[in-house]
Chain A
Amino acid sequence: TCLSLPVAVGQCGNQVGCRFWDLALREHAAVNKKGIYDEALSSFFRNVDTRSGGDGPDIYKGKIYSLKARALLIDMEEGVVNEILQGPLRDVFDSKQLITDVSGSGNNWAVGHKLYGYQYRENIVEKLRKTAEHCDCLQCFFIIHSMGGGTGSGLGTFVLNLLEDEFPEVYRFVTSVYPSGEDDVITSPYNSVLAMKELNEHADCVLPIENESLFDIVNKIHQMINSGKLGSTVKQNSLVTSSAGSAKTAQEKPFDAMNNIVANLLLNLTSSARFEGSLNMDLNEISMNLVPFPRLHYLVSSLTPLYTLADVNVPSRRLDQMFSDAFSRDHQLIQADPKHSLYLACALLVRGNVHVSDLRRNIERLKPSLHFVSWNQEGWKTGLCSVPPVGHSHSLLALANNTCVKPTFIELKDKFMKLYKKKAHLHHYLHIDGMEQSCFSEAISSLSDLIEEYSELDATKGGPRIDPPRLQIAI
């Protein structure tokens, strides 16, 4: 297989990353009954012979010895990474994949990007190269980070730049957690907008995530479980919020449930590249089909189902409900309203026992209520992967390139301007080597341009459909 390499940066990035590896192991264990190291496993894990201690050679076939995650974990604080190394995943990582420091970035993008970026550049490049060396074929990097802080935001986007320089042919997907409304980090608007410029210019695809949406999903599930409507018939391991171990909801940290959702997003996104199906969908296809213009690469994701009921047969109607849910705001990972905005493109990645006729029936059913841009009226990209996620018979991940992200960006811009106009906290940034006022003005300009591109498309919505005249051939 051609591999995807996750790079987790910062506290949030690593917390999500940790959940991701946990669930990936579980997913592969469920499918791989014989303990043979296969192509699917190799997409996320190396098989290392550690019998003679330490780092043995990579084993490409046969029995599983010791699985090592293909990953890079970067944090300028030690807390999260140390926890991972002391927890149940400690054998999945080794020190060659970690880059840590002690003091953190103080919620300052400039510290993350300019200071630590400069300081750790060579180290990061070397470790990236080492990790990439173990990969026969590298298709995509996944950066996992948050936008509002200093490390994930600043150093994360520095790594993004670096990836473009060092591995220009490899796709760069970024999962970005955007700051929530009640974010207690005062400078998060600065950090986010400075990071946005980097995402605009260097990412192939961005999956924005908002904590509010994750929180709402977690609450929704709790309500369903506690309301007694479902009772004990919910399959615990099917919850999009649950960790791989048996449900220890009481002991789970509050963010674990939310982070599991993001981890599941990544698992579903890569499922078709790892497992077989009648209509495969690789990550390069996602980028190709969902990005009509280079900078419009922000995708709204929705996951369904959020849980499965045990011992229930799934009639067609339930299956159709899954498709409807994918277009309901309850299942989205950002707060946006795609149904009232304009779709540029939409991808449906289905897993499990679902047929092309189910796909077609549901696309026909849902199409009329969605607005697609005039030049992409049938803009659907579909994938069918045979292997469902753990605990489910089928699942659906919808990715939409939709102008509904515009309000999120406008809000970000407004919050930024509120601080910037007063020059609040600017000195914390400007005294960092390499930071200038122009960094700020360029960043806000980049964001404004992006908003403008979306506005221009929005303006075409509902307008008269005028097909351009066809070429005339002289007879």
Chain B
Amino acid sequence: MSIVTVQLGQCGNQIGHEVFNAICSDICGTHGLCSKTENESYYDACKERFFSEEESEVPVARAVLVDMEPKVISQTLSIAARSGYWKYGDRSHFCQKQGSGNNWANGYSVHGPRHKEVILNLVQKEAEKCDRLGGFFTIMSMAGGTGSGLGAFVTQCLRDAFPTSFILNHVIWPYGTGEVIVQNYNSVLTLSHLYQSSDALLVHENDVIHKICAQLMNIKQISFRDVNQVIAHQLGSVFQPTYTAESGSHYSRNPLGDLMEMLVPHPEFKMLGLRNIPQMPENSLAYSTFSWPGLIKHLRQMLIANAKMEEGIDWQVRPPRLGSSIPSSHSTNKPLHFNTSIANLVILRGKDTHSVDLGSFQDPSLYASWLSPQDAFKAWKTPRAFNKYEKSATLVSNSQFLLKPLDNVVGKAWNMFASKAYIHQYTKFGIEEEDFLDSFTALEQVISSYTSL
């Protein structure tokens, strides 16, 4: 099954480009550490998933590029083509000239309806090229105007046009201290709208990735390109082919569907976080060895202690003892800082994955009381190494990972809303105070649901 990627706005297009780069470099590389047949299966599965065969020397990404100003798309197209390994379709993009001015209302209420037909046509064309459509993967930031506002509108349109397809939104959480002053408004509006049409929101926080670049990748002068490359690596580690328990001896063919079905059992809980270990500079890879027990131990502790990366993990945090918690909606017996999960997916890639013991992730105390660990935990594996990492473990988690960031953003947005600052910029384009209130209400509901796990 194939995935159609929709890249929205500057951020979406810059990241999307790095994702296809990472995927392509992974399959074209010779560091698979597995048999030739394995490599070929992997390659074929990946190609089907992300690239289409067209009359072109290089694979063409299954992607639609959308932006309201031309510079980023123009750059993205030319850099991709220059790589010589892959490219975007010649007519797979749509852009305008004036941008969205960081204004969610402009993106959603003006650009959205105005360009709906053209954009949906592009998506339709891409979808038709797929033998079997596995779903849509949209990439956007919440902070600006296009990715956020137009992105929310496009997601809604996708839902209407493809009611039975899976839609996964990859959402970039902006740096806490501004890239954009109205970023909290834009974020609140985006999240509340996406919650209605999307199947799941997979989140990357700029602050977190920045720290990974600084502390783990040892990058001194961190650029957005560095940040995007780490994000691309993490996404690649999720979406490259794997074997699931059900797929048997073939690479699984329905990654988005499989992911959604097990990670989002309830529509109130759609916020997914991502952790990937190990992460290190490429030139250190050759000198590092890891053991699976070590990696799994770290990953599990990152989950329960809500650590953003493999350094600085709080090892004091422990799951509550089973039987001691009163079955109620208030987790009064859960220890402080303990991150309760709805569902977890662990993806293992590389050497000796078949023998890894993942029992610690099936501990019922990790999960909300209304779930059984059999349903709440799954593992996907492949012996094929990813992106030159001999061993790589990824956790996609539906848990309280994003509770605090969400609460922060809503709090700041509410604070600003109370003073009515900047509201006139939104009402100018048809988003009224009531719309804001609806969005705040929706998100307070999400916060409340995750808090009471």
Interface set of A (CB-CB < 8 Å, partner B): 1-2, 39, 136-137, 139, 276, 278-280, 282, 284-285, 287-294, 344-345, 355-358, 360, 363-364, 367, 374-382, 384, 467-468, 470-473, 475
Task: Mark each residue of chain B from 337 to 369: 1 if its CB lies under 8 Å from any CB of chain A, else 0.
Answer: 000000000000000000000000000000000
Partner of A289, one of B180, B213, B444, B445: B180
Task: Report A-chain residues with C-beta under 8 Å of the C-beta of B98.
Answer: 2, 137, 139, 282, 284
Task: Mark each residue of chain B from 416 to 441: 1 if its CB lies under 8 Å from any CB of chain A, else 0.
Answer: 10110110110000000000000011
Whether B178 lies near A136 (C-beta < 8 A) is no
**With A279-B10, A289-B102, A293-B424 as given contacts, are A2 and B69 in contact (CB-CB < 8 Å)?**
yes
12 contacts between A and B (CB under 8 A): A2-B99, A39-B71, A279-B224, A280-B10, A280-B99, A282-B69, A282-B98, A285-B145, A289-B102, A357-B223, A470-B444, A475-B329
**With A381-B181, A471-B441 as given contacts, are A288 and B421 in contact (CB-CB < 8 Å)?**
no
- Could you tell me the distance between the alpha carbons of A291 and B411 in the complex, rounded to whole angstroms? 21
Nearest A-chain residue to B99, judged by Cβ = A282
Instruction: Tell me, rounded to whole Å, the shortest Cβ–Cβ distance linking B147 to chain A.
Output: 12
Nearest A-chain residue to B11, judged by Cβ = A279
Instruction: Tell me, rounded to whole Å, the shortest Cβ–Cβ distance linking A220 to chain B.
Output: 30
Q: Is B222 on the interface with A (CB-CB < 8 A)?
A: yes
Partner of B70, one of A1, A293, A356, A360: A1
Q: Is B82 on the interface with A (CB-CB < 8 A)?
A: no
Partner of B181, one of A278, A345, A471, A475: A345
Interface set of B (CB-CB < 8 Å, partner A): 10, 14, 69-72, 74-75, 96-103, 145, 175-182, 210, 213-214, 219-225, 227, 329, 410-412, 414-416, 418-419, 421-422, 424-425, 440-441, 444-445, 448, 452
- Could you tell me the distance between the alpha carbons of A377 and B419 in the complex, rounded to whole angstroms? 13
**With A278-B14, A355-B222, A467-B411 as given contacts, are A288 and B101 in contact (CB-CB < 8 Å)?**
yes
- Could you tell me the distance between the alpha carbons of A139 and B101 in the complex, rounded to whole angstroms? 10
- Could you tell me the distance between the alpha carbons of A207 and B290 in the complex, rounded to whole angstroms? 58
Contacts beyond the supplied A284-B102, A381-B181: 14 A-B pairs with Cβ under 8 Å? A278-B223, A278-B225, A284-B98, A284-B99, A285-B180, A288-B182, A357-B223, A360-B210, A374-B415, A376-B416, A379-B178, A467-B411, A470-B411, A470-B444
- Could you tell me the distance between the alpha carbons of A66 and B131 in the complex, rounded to whole angstroms? 52
Instruction: Tell me, rounded to whole Å, the shortest Cβ–Cβ distance linking B109 to chain A.
Output: 14
Task: Report B-chain residues with C-beta under 8 Å of the C-beta of A289.
Answer: 102, 180-182
Task: Report A-chain residues with C-beta under 8 Å of the C-beta of B97.
Answer: 1-2, 136-137, 139
Whether A380 lies near B71 (C-beta < 8 A) is no
Instruction: Tell me, rounded to whole Å, the shortest Cβ–Cβ distance linking A246 to chain B.
Output: 33
Task: Report A-chain residues with C-beta under 8 Å of the C-beta of B214.
Answer: 357
**With A292-B422, A356-B223 as given contacts, are A280 and B69 in contact (CB-CB < 8 Å)?**
yes
Task: Report B-chain residues with C-beta under 8 Å of the C-beta of A375.
Answer: 415-416, 418-419, 421
- Could you tell me the distance between the alpha carbons of A376 and B224 in the complex, rounded to whole angstroms? 25
Task: Report B-chain residues with C-beta under 8 Å of the C-beta of A377.
Answer: 412
Whether B178 lies near A471 (C-beta < 8 A) is no
**With A276-B71, A356-B227, A357-B214 as given contacts, are A473 and B181 in contact (CB-CB < 8 Å)?**
no
Instruction: Tell me, rounded to whole Å, the shortest Cβ–Cβ distance linking B100 to chain A.
Output: 8
Whether A288 lies near B223 (C-beta < 8 A) is no
**With A39-B71, A378-B178, A475-B452 as given contacts, are A470 and B101 in contact (CB-CB < 8 Å)?**
no
**With A355-B221, A357-B222, A375-B421 as given contacts, are A380 and B101 in contact (CB-CB < 8 Å)?**
no
Task: Report A-chain residues with C-beta under 8 Å of the C-beta of B227.
Answer: 356
Whether B441 lies near A473 (C-beta < 8 A) is yes
Whether A380 lies near B69 (C-beta < 8 A) is no
Task: Report A-chain residues with C-beta under 8 Å of the C-beta of B329.
Answer: 475
- Could you tell me the distance between the alpha carbons of A280 and B213 in the complex, rounded to whole angstroms? 22
| Residue among A290, A356, A364, A378 with the highest chain B CB neighbour number at 10 A | A356
Whether B210 lies near A279 (C-beta < 8 A) is no
Task: Report B-chain residues with C-beta under 8 Å of the C-beta of A288.
Answer: 101-103, 145, 182, 422, 425
Whether B181 lies near A380 (C-beta < 8 A) is yes
Q: Which 8 A-B pairs have the closest CB atoms?
A: A284-B101, A380-B178, A137-B97, A357-B222, A292-B421, A468-B418, A2-B98, A278-B224
Partner of A381, one of B179, B223, B421: B179
| Residue among B71, B75, B102, B178 with the highest chain A CB neighbour number at 10 A | B178
Task: Report B-chain residues with C-beta under 8 Å of the C-beta of A282.
Answer: 69, 98-99, 101
Whether B179 lies near A279 (C-beta < 8 A) is yes
| Residue among A289, A294, A367, A381 with the highest chain B CB neighbour number at 10 A | A289
Whether A376 lies near B181 (C-beta < 8 A) is yes
